[in-house]
Amino acid sequence: MKGQFPIGFFIWNLNKKERFNYFEADVFNKHEDYIGPKNIWSYDNIKLINEWVKTFRYSKSESIATIIGVGSDFQNQRLVRFGEPHMKVPASNHNWQTTKENLIETSIYYTVRHIFDSNWLNDRDQFLYPNENWKSDFEFQNNCLVSTLFSNNISSSFGTNHWIPFTEYEVNAQAKFESNFMTDFIKGKIQAETKTSDLFSIPTQPEHTACQPELVSGSNEILKQVQHDTTKGVQHNKALVFSEEATAVFDAGRELWKYYHKIASLSRNDYNVNASLYDIREYFQGRNDKGRMNSKSDDVTYMALIGELRNKLAILADKIKPKVYEYGFLKE
């Protein structure tokens, strides 16, 4: 039988009635090599992760993207993705609008669903409704935001790109971005609740241009501006404080964005000042005759920069993974 999923062989004593939460199974691969033990959970009376989504999915603020959360297991991992705001999605799918009010929670959801590779052994493992402890762990929250910012499928083809994690000055952009939402959010300038419907409602402040220096996203200077109040859960209107691992991701990503703007701006026909990470990858890697993005580029510098970003993301992922179990998103 072909397929990337586990097959179990168990003997049940039907004369013995008992409720089980889980049992430990011995796991072998298709070559009959022993892999090790694995806990098989019943998930009876346990709420799944898409029940948790209901606690933050409804927002009156303007959308910066639709997120599609198909299923609650690993086999649907590749279907968990972003789309343009208010895109039409089958009613059977869990989807909601990502806004300034639920960006952190949405980033946690997206990161948790993608942080582990899907394989034949975890194919049916379920993502669960977490405990409350994540709410006071701002490092975890912000790590998930950074992981999402640098590993999503957001494309400027969706419309205005609100997901650029840098200012124009940081990456030497040759024109102003259509949106500075994400850097304003990082700096605590975005108000979570406002009497206006303006997505970018921020406190009165001097305007910046692409030629004026600003604090660097993820830099020590911006991180020192405001510290979190650790008593109230997700914080709004405050500059986010990032871990060393997350800051390293910013640093690697910044170099990649700078290189894109340096190279792409030489050819005005191909230059997209609002390019997302996905757009940058597409620019350098191109597509094959079937329309699929190539896995690599002939540009040696680009390959080194994207490789460094992926390396820093892997280090950040290793910091996030234990928290996924600690906060109950997965059972071991």
Task: Name the residue ranges covered by the structural domains of the chain.
Answer: 49-117+125-143, 166-326
Element (H, E) at 240: none
pLDDT level of residue 73 (50, 70, 90 thresholds): confident
Q: Is the pLDDT of residue 187 over 80?
A: yes
Instruction: Give the pLDDT confidence score for residue 302 in this predicted structure.
Output: 98
Instruction: Give the pLDDT confidence score for residue 217 in this predicted structure.
Output: 55
How far is residue 226's CA from residue 274's CA, in Å, rounded to a whole number? Answer: 28
Instruction: Give the pLDDT confidence score for residue 278 in this predicted structure.
Output: 97
Mean pLDDT estimate for the chain:
85
Instruction: Identify which has the larger pLDDT, 325 or 37.
Output: 325
Instruction: Give the pLDDT confidence score for residue 10 in this predicted structure.
Output: 78
Its pTM stands at 0.84
Instruction: Give the pLDDT confidence score for residue 20 in this predicted structure.
Output: 76
Instruction: Give the pLDDT confidence score for residue 162 in this predicted structure.
Output: 97
Average pLDDT over residues 78-102: 88
How far is residue 239's CA from residue 184's CA, in Å, rounded to a whole number? Answer: 9
Kind of pairing between the strands at 22-28 and 34-41: antiparallel
pLDDT level of residue 231 (50, 70, 90 thresholds): very low
Instruction: Identify which has the larger pLDDT, 62 or 209.
Output: 62
End-to-end CA distance of the chain: 27
pLDDT level of residue 154 (50, 70, 90 thresholds): very high
Nearest by Cα to 48 from 103, 124, 119, 99 = 124
Average pLDDT over residues 65-83: 89
Quick: pLDDT tens for 193-204. Answer: 544 445 554 443
Report yes or no: 218 and 175 within 8 Å, Cβ to Cβ. Answer: no
Torsion angle defined by CA atoms of residues 101, 152, 291 and 85, in that order, rounded to the nearest 10 degrees = 0
Q: Is the pLDDT of residue 216 over 60?
A: no
- The percent of residues above 70 in pLDDT, for the chain, comes to 83
Nearest by Cα to 220 from 235, 236, 238, 242 = 242
Average pLDDT over residues 142-156: 96
How far is residue 109's CA from residue 119's CA, in Å, rounded to a whole number? Answer: 19
pLDDT level of residue 213 (50, 70, 90 thresholds): very low
Q: Is the pLDDT of residue 232 over 60?
A: no
Instruction: Identify which has the larger pLDDT, 17 or 231.
Output: 17
pLDDT level of residue 49 (50, 70, 90 thresholds): very high
pLDDT level of residue 226 (50, 70, 90 thresholds): very low
Q: Is the pLDDT of residue 118 over 90?
A: no
Instruction: Give the pLDDT confidence score for residue 92 in this predicted structure.
Output: 63
